[in-house]
């Protein structure tokens, strides 16, 4: 795209019609980025990685081919600024299109419809040296390419699609979708649209954190009652129904260890042993393909992700740890009192990462209609995540209280880590029998 623009190629007029200014956090200053503290947006930007790729990969190639990249054009068309602009154009406007089968017709059909995340271009960094790369947190907290996503995305073609990329998006409003045959792409309406109504091509109803990171906007719509009960401000009724909260496994590990330390006998002399054992279990979890980030959705019947419950049981219950190794399979997602209490503490730690309270954010949105755009967007993202955490914590407290009163479900005391039995068992299923 940079070459096409520099050489006034076939697509230069199309590129000239695309925006050169973006409201995405990639272009925010440090003060504005600080407003996103606690969210996962900043750590997913990949700005430093992108700029390192520009310096170490792109510039050497450009410098080595003066026949393709005349030196006098480099300061104008191949700068870091243009690199970020074109990368952001791809991130915000491209489509992931599956290669059409050899016998595909040009007629639109459900089998040739593009992905649910039609405009999602999170491709591996090997294919595109830009923060659009699909990344996950490794167990050191750094960013790394997800190999499974890499294999999956290799089959897709990242495409800029003139005209189709003009359509806006809004939660729950999709009424058109991209279809393709062997020789053409078609944006086709999926439901009746009245004259004067807007055509929306939505990408999988993403949460505001992702909408802001990728596209520079947020959704601000009516929310379900489960997220607005007890809020003192009217603005609490607005947000993105698709919002989620990401919970890192290191916070779960800290919460689990805190509980184990408090129940160890005697506590002081077991700290290093408990930490080493916890790390061993986390390593096993990751080796078995377990996630290190858990996605928390607004409260539902299940309340907590099954893999999160499974990890807490693995960390806190010696019997479950032994069974997991024997079966080479993580524990079942059984929620007992210990699981709920440890998860509650992990969520409180997650909640503490934000600046200010939910009420502060809601009051700011309710009283200040002239907020700078970046601050407004950041506040909406923060508030949406805080609402989910508050709602889940409320449900957890009610469930823990009910279990305490009932006394019928196991609270894991008999086999939890740190107890004398769990730490000193012999080869008959005890600690010494672990691999």
**What CATH number belongs to 245-433?**
3.90.1420.10
Contact in structure between 200 and 270 (CB atoms under 8 Å): no
Query: Tens digits of per-residue pLDDT, 123-149?
Result: 333 333 333 332 222 333 333 334 444
**More reliable by pLDDT, 183 or 342:** 342
- pLDDT number for residue 233: 54
Grouping H, G, I as helix, E, B as strand and the rest as coil, residue 186 is: strand
For the chain, the average pLDDT equals 80
Q: Residues 254, 255, 261, CA angle at the centre, nearest 5°?
A: 85
User: How confident is the model over 106-125, as a mean pLDDT?
Assistant: 39
Q: Among 49-63, 223-237, 351-365, 370-384, which stretch is predicted with the lowest mean pLDDT?
A: 223-237
Residue ranges, comma separated, of all CATH 3.90.1420.10 domains in the chain are: 245-433
Residue ranges, comma separated, of all CATH 3.90.1410.10 domains in the chain are: 2-215
Residues 206 and 244: their CA atoms lie apart, in Å, by: 9
User: How confident is the model over 310-322, as a mean pLDDT?
Assistant: 95
Residues 423 and 167: their CA atoms lie apart, in Å, by: 60
Which CATH architecture is the domain 2-215 placed in?
A: Alpha-Beta Complex (3.90)
Q: How confident is the model at residue 103 (pLDDT cuts 50, 70, 90)?
A: low
Q: Among 72-76, 201-205, 286-290, 379-383, which stretch is predicted with the lowest mean pLDDT?
A: 201-205
- pLDDT number for residue 274: 86
Inform me whether the pLDDT recorded for 195 exceeds 60: yes
- Residue 295: φ, ψ to 5°: -95, 120
Please count the CA atoms within 13 angstroms of the CA of 79 that sit on its side-chain side: 8
- pLDDT number for residue 116: 40
Residues 206 and 44: their CA atoms lie apart, in Å, by: 15
């Amino acid at each position: 795209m940079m070459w096409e623009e520099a050489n006034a190629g076939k697509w230069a007029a199309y590129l000239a019609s695309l925006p050169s200014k973006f409201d995405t956090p990639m272009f925010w200053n440090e003060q504005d980025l600080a407003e996103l503290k606690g969210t996962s947006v900043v750590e997913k930007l990949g700005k430093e990685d992108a700029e390192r790729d520009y310096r170490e990969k792109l510039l050497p190639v450009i410098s080595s081919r003066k026949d393709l990249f005349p030196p006098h054009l480099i300061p104008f068309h191949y700068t870091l600024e243009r690199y970020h602009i074109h990368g952001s154009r791809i991130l915000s406007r491209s489509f992931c299109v599956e290669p059409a089968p050899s016998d595909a017709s040009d007629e639109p059909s459900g089998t040739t419809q593009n992905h649910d995340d039609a405009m999602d271009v999170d491709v591996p960094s090997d294919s595109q040296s830009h923060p659009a790369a699909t990344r996950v947190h490794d167990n050191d907290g750094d960013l790394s390419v997800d190999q499974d996503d890499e294999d999956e995305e290799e089959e897709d073609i990242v495409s800029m699609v003139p005209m189709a990329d003009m359509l806006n998006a809004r939660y729950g409003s999709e009424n058109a979708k991209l279809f393709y045959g062997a020789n053409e792409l078609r944006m086709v309406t999926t439901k009746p649209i009245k004259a004067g109504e807007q055509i929306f091509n939505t990408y999988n109803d993403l949460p505001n954190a992702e909408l802001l990171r990728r596209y520079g906007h947020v959704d601000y719509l009516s929310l379900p009652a489960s997220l607005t009960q007890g809020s003192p401000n009217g603005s609490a009724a607005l947000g993105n129904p698709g919002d989620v909260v990401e919970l890192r496994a290191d916070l779960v590990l800290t919460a689990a260890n805190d509980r184990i330390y408090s129940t160890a006998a005697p506590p002081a002399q077991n700290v290093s042993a408990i930490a080493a054992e916890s790390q061993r279990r986390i390593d096993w979890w990751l080796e078995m393909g377990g996630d290190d980030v858990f996605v928390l959705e607004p409260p539902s019947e299940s309340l907590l992700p099954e893999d999160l419950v499974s990890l807490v049981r693995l960390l806190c219950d010696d019997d479950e740890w032994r069974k997991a190794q024997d079966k080479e399979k993580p524990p079942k997602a059984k929620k007992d009192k210990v699981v709920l209490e440890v998860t509650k503490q992990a969520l409180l730690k997650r909640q503490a990462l934000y600046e200010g309270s939910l009420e502060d954010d809601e009051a700011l949105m309710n009283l200040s209609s002239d907020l700078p755009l970046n601050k407004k967007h950041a506040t909406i993202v923060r508030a949406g995540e805080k609402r989910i955490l508050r709602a889940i914590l409320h449900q957890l407290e009610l469930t823990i209280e009910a279990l305490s009163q009932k006394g019928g479900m196991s609270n894991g005391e008999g086999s939890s880590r740190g107890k004398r039995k769990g730490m000193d068992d012999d080869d008959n299923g005890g600690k010494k029998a672990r691999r």
